[in-house]
Amino acid sequence: MAAVLLLVFLNVSLSVLIVLLNKQIYTNNGILGVSLTCLHFVVMTVCVLVCQQIGVFHRKSLPVMDILPLSLGYCAFVVFTNISLQTNTIRTHMLFRMTTIPTVIALEVFWSRRKFSSNVLLTLVSNL
């Protein structure tokens, strides 16, 4: 239990730290959101490749057309998140980020008619 709490704390802390650092980069260095987004994707690719090499997970092949909508959605999420951070205050940006998961779940329920368990829906309470 202590390990889980530590990992949750580290996840939240590092996420907030990254947001603060990105906002500093936008404010003080004049770097555009597109440049920082490209840097994020490069760093993420390197981290994924390292994790694959050390055995954290194994690569699986999927048809490109099956994962294309997910990939485009993720790319759009990162781009719009960085644009939001570039143009809004940190408080507004964090509010938008906190509403992402409930919004995605609501879209899946209404658009795809997907059903979620009570336990999954109860986790949304922490976002309120």
- Note the pLDDT tens digit of each residue in 15-68: 888 888 888 887 787 777 678 778 888 988 999 999 999 998 888 888 999 888
Other CB atoms within 10 A of residue 100 CB: 12
Q: Which residue has the tokens 């057309």?
A: 65
pLDDT of 21 reads 84
- Judge whether 77 and 100 are in contact, CB under 8 Å: yes
The token pair that represents 88 in the structure block: 């809004």
User: What sign for the dihedral angle of Cα 25, 27, 28, 33?
Assistant: positive
Percent of the chain exceeding pLDDT 70 equals: 97
DSSP 17-82: HHHHHHHHHHHHH---HHHHHHHHHHHHHHHHHHHHHTTSS------HHHHHHHHHHHHHHHHHHH
pLDDT of 127 reads 55
